[in-house]
Structure 1
Amino acid sequence: MSSSQTDIIDSSIRLEKVKNVVVIGAGISGIVTTAHLLRIGLNVTVIERADKVGGAWNYSPQPDPDPPFPSMRPPTPELQQSCVEGLSLQDMKSRFAPPGPVYASMKSRNSAAVMQTSLLGWPEGTEDYMGHEKVLAYLQDLACVYHVNERARFSTRVESVAKRESDDRWLVQTCELIRTTIGYTLKRDTCEFDAVVVATGRYNVPRVPDIPGLSTWKQEFPSRVSHSRQYRTPDRFCNKIVLVIGGFISSLEITNDLTSNGAKVYHSAKDTMFDFRDRVDHENAEKVPMVGKFTITSEDVPTPRLLDDDSPIPGRVILESGRVLEHIHHVIIATGYLCSYPFLGPTLEAPSMPLQDADEKVIITADYRTVHNLHEDIFYIPDPTLAFIGVSHFASTFSLYDFQAQVLATVFAGRVRLPSQPAMEVEQMRRKSRVLPGTFLNSIFLLDDFVIRRLLEWVNQDLVAGGFEALRGPDPKWRDEFKVLRENARPLLGKFQDNYLSS
């Protein structure tokens, strides 16, 4: 063995003191992470702000309250704001766990084989592209089989996560909502852990672009302008003209739902390489350029109470092409979400730091769409006892997050070494140098099988050398079906897939 190879091994990182782990979130990422950590012998506490597992797959007919218009950065995190006394029980529950983005007719985006985890198969006879009820039932079964519920503290928000320098323990401050006979009480607590896993997902803070006049439309006609997170059913849009803004998957799905139920849709977005609007195949959907501004046609505007359900909004939509749209009844903003971890504090979540100025410590910058300084989108490079599952974007979430959780468990258990910090920093800079315009650092462009293969080569070397069983990765059926999925995406993603694989 050469001296350079010896130096690499000597400087690699092996975590040997992780015994007690906190997992923040009990959606798919949190459930599979907890299961694999328990299976490998670690003690796990799960903190979940809702009163049950399932995360974003929990359906509520009650939509999320309005986000700010615009919403280009999350609200400033304050302990007092999220755990404020004096609200009704229902209002407090909404603060703790706002309703998610699932709408009534929502189905899974992938087949059962592609969405299956290594932990549990789907029930016999499960159809592909199943409804959200069956997806949630699968997650609940996973949590039951692997005793996730027994490890969970439900109706509990994480308010602060910080490392105590004196003994390298993580201090996690929480606020628990406890129902009482007369309402509720709030219980604050601080617990200590050896490691922290953030598994809170990517669908928490709606992103609303700052389009001139949009905030005025929202103020004047609040029930007519909403974010896709608030969409539930197409009923009230039947025989109406709807402007959907956004060119990604949620806008495609909602446009299909609307047009299939009698709505006329103008589908507006910037022209990008990720434009899904061409996949809408309905005579009542028209692809139009991005909105330039919203205007009101008359100063004598009726109040929202006087604008009846059948009347269009008395305003014009000026597209960037100069075309004018009128007689719009509703606007749905389907421009995605902001990625935010406010409990990590201002050093790791730096709202004033531009994306291009990200240093070697920050996790979230002003764009709120990139998660920085994670090795393999999992381990925080300056301190790998802070980890994330569910960051990778444009991926087959169930299977990939399940495998990432397996990798995480082997590292936390001390069975697999991480590269040295300098080596991980070099790799992070290499990845950033290859990010193409209009894309994000954490996107893998449906190359899950290649990512998993790379991770297998890394972790299995140490596992086999240590006398442990090697990780197998997804089964052959998953590989076959995922290959078809990936190849079918080539017309849209081929350029980005090739760039990712060449880096």
Structure 2
Amino acid sequence: MVHKPIKSVAVIGAGISGVSAGAHLLRQGFEVVVFERSDVAGGVWKFDPRTGREPESSPTLYPSPPSSLKTQKSTDGFPNHRQHNKTAEDVLLDHAPPGPCYAGLRNNIPTPVMRSTLLRWPKGTPDHVTHNEIESYIQALARETGTHAVTLYNTRVEEAVKNPETGTWQVKSRTLAHKSEKEEASLGEISFHDKDWTFDAVIVAAGHYHVPLVPAIPGLAEWKRKFPSRVMHSKNYRFPEAFKDQNVFLIGAGVSSLDIAKELEHTAHKTYQSSRGGLFDLDKALLPSNSERVPGLLAFKLDEGKGFDEEEEHGSLDNTAPIPGTIHLTDGRVLSNIHQVIVASGYQTTYPFLKGLESDTLPVEEADGEIVITADKCVTHNLHKDIFYIPDPTLAFVGVPYYTSTFSMFDFQAEVVARVYAGLAKLPSRSDMEGEYAARKAKGDKGKAFHSLIRNQVSYMDEILEWVNEDLKEGANQEKRMKGVDEEWYRGYEQFKEKSRRLIPVDSSQIQQPIASRYYDGDEGGAQK
């Protein structure tokens, strides 16, 4: 399937996926350029006290923006209407929006099973560490493997398009530069350098956690419009102290929601966590003492004539006053006296630089054999093993799966890509890959479940190892066989699953806990992103 020899590869992103991809490609002798829009490697583990742009406080933009505004989106996926009055901070936020890392974030996957095959954690590293230590690990991996030296920081990819005539990828990048080293640059001290590149292959390692997903709940947009500082996405959560003595309503019951609830245990007065009962919602038994699980939402309603002018664009409230309104739940219950709403409903998967391969309007059910992202912004279509773009494997993805031991899994995927591009492993025929993919779709998994490895991470790796090593079974070729994770990893993974199982209530209907639970022996670390 990969017809012409591959010599040069672009890697988009310098989180753990991109750094791993760059490292394994360099080991195989490729010319590599890694593009990272932030100023350091680390991905979601880089803590930035700034918060990114929220959707505009308008019912047409909150929930998530519609496709008609696609051309107006900034790089965080939200429309930017301040084109004529932009400040230096606006420009910086547009170029590289802060990630979702909050001050107390720690890993939930133990470090022994959260590592690259190319770098062990320092001796004595605890199972659960801070985001600072994890960011440092990624940066050490980048330095020691040579990936740091081939990474262009402050550089984002604007476009990556295959040229059918030359068989190469045309990549357009934009690099931000400061004319001074001052912490706060003025608009005149910021400049951009655009460049066109040509590569034989492209690896997308951009991650999941960039564009917030905001659900369409009646009245939520009105709450956001009237009191914009009181409704936020979890991507902009940073410190629990901001919610002292408040009543907080969390939308969603996944990892981020549980993390925030745990952080607010000794700060907030009361936390409500709304769950629709999805299979990937974490069990309510894991919630802290001041939190309560409530059912799904019907609507948000504002009271009339209580503390704000209905004609005002933005209402103003005393910092200690609750939002003058009520939250209506599917069981008939009505909540009031809520100070803050945090939308912890996840993120949209989007690769806006893949021109022609992403659609804001095509329903997921109508995905054809070429599209990568449809309007659902969740499933990444037409990938072999969640890695290779079936119509053209010179486009590959590292980091697509959910609910997995991310560092180890993405390192594994990165080595697979490097080996295929180096000719050490051969992809099946396009028709065979299409047949396997069609059979997978026929199973009926929807949304994140389609990419979930929660129940089959080991079998996934074993199956790929058998394929990758198929032609390296005899003689001297055995030394070239891909080894994958080591026995220490397998032992640690089994211990982790067993420890997790002890936390699951026997009557739980959820399926995520064996891979996503994070509360071990009173540990109060945060969740892995």
Using structure 2 for the length normalisation, give the TM-score.
0.87
In 2 relative to 1, CA 216–277 (structure 1 residues): closer, same or farther, beyond 3 Å? farther
One of 434, 438, 460 as aligned partner of 1:451 = 460
Correspondence 1:225-236 to 2 at 5 A: 225-236=231-242
Q: Match for residue 23 of structure 1?
A: 11
Q: Indicate the SS of the match to 2:469.
A: helix
Greater mean deviation of Cα atoms: 276-285 or 232-241: 276-285
Instruction: Kindly state the Cα deviation for residue 166 of structure 1 after the two structures are TM-superposed.
Output: 1.1
Q: Match for residue 183 of structure 1?
A: 189
**Deviation per residue, 1:151-173 (Å, 9 max, x gap):** 01111121111111111010001
The answer on 1:474 being equivalent to 2:485 is yes
CA contact (8 A) 1:277 1:287 kept: no
**Deviation per residue, 1:247-286 (Å, 9 max, x gap):** 1111111111112334310110211222214143433111
Q: Match for residue 53 of structure 1?
A: 41
CA contact (8 A) 2:379 2:448 kept: no
The answer on 1:321 being equivalent to 2:331 is yes
CA contact (8 A) 1:169 1:193 kept: yes
Instruction: Kindly state the Cα deviation for residue 91 of structure 1 after the two structures are TM-superposed.
Output: 2.1
Q: Indicate the SS of the match to 2:450.
A: coil
Q: Indicate the SS of the match to 2:361.
A: coil
CA contact (8 A) 2:403 2:512 kept: no
Q: Aligned AA for 1:327?
A: N
Q: Match for residue 307 of structure 1?
A: 317
* Separation in structure 2 between the aligned mates of residue 262 and residue 387 of structure 1, nearest angstrom: 44
Q: Indicate the SS of the match to 2:451.
A: coil
* Separation in structure 1 between the aligned mates of residue 14 and residue 338 of structure 2, nearest angstrom: 39
CA contact (8 A) 2:249 2:274 kept: yes
Q: Match for residue 205 of structure 1?
A: 211
Q: Match for residue 108 of structure 2?
A: 109
Q: Indicate the SS of the match to 2:264.
A: helix
Instruction: Kindly state the Cα deviation for residue 484 of structure 1 after the two structures are TM-superposed.
Output: 3.3
In 2 relative to 1, CA 432–164 (structure 1 residues): closer, same or farther, beyond 3 Å? same
**Deviation per residue, 1:101-136 (Å, 9 max, x gap):** 011111101111011110101111111111111100
* Separation in structure 1 between the aligned mates of residue 269 and residue 261 of structure 2, nearest angstrom: 9
CA contact (8 A) 1:249 1:276 kept: yes
Q: Aligned AA for 2:17?
A: S
The answer on 1:275 being equivalent to 2:281 is yes
Q: Give aligned pairs, total.
A: 484
**Deviation per residue, 1:364-383 (Å, 9 max, x gap):** 01100100000000000000
Q: Match for residue 366 of structure 2?
A: 357
Q: Match for residue 500 of structure 1?
A: none
Q: Indicate the SS of the match to 2:399.
A: coil
Q: Indicate the SS of the match to 1:266.
A: strand
Greater mean deviation of Cα atoms: 76-85 or 352-361: 76-85
Identical amino acids, percent of aligned pairs: 39
Q: Match for residue 4 of structure 1?
A: none
Where do 5+ consecutive residues of structure 2 fail to align?
A: 56-60, 181-187, 515-529
The answer on 1:432 being equivalent to 2:441 is yes
In 2 relative to 1, CA 73–127 (structure 1 residues): closer, same or farther, beyond 3 Å? farther
* Separation in structure 2 between the aligned mates of residue 201 and residue 75 of structure 1, nearest angstrom: 25
**Deviation per residue, 1:433-476 (Å, 9 max, x gap):** 11345653211115221111111111011234682511111111
Correspondence 1:299-448 to 2 at 5 A: 299-302=305-308, 306-345=316-355, 347-436=356-445, 439-448=448-457
Where do 5+ consecutive residues of structure 1 fail to align?
A: 1-12, 498-503
* Separation in structure 1 between the aligned mates of residue 442 and residue 7 of structure 2, nearest angstrom: 36
CA contact (8 A) 2:272 2:291 kept: yes
Q: Match for residue 163 of structure 2?
A: 164
* Separation in structure 2 between the aligned mates of residue 344 and residue 437 of structure 1, nearest angstrom: 23
CA contact (8 A) 1:158 1:172 kept: yes
CA contact (8 A) 1:88 1:183 kept: no
RMSD, aligned CA: 2.3
One of 196, 199, 203 as aligned partner of 2:202 = 196
Using structure 1 for the length normalisation, give the TM-score.
0.91
Q: Indicate the SS of the match to 1:244.
A: strand
Q: Match for residue 147 of structure 1?
A: 146
The answer on 1:65 being equivalent to 2:53 is yes
Greater mean deviation of Cα atoms: 77-86 or 271-280: 77-86
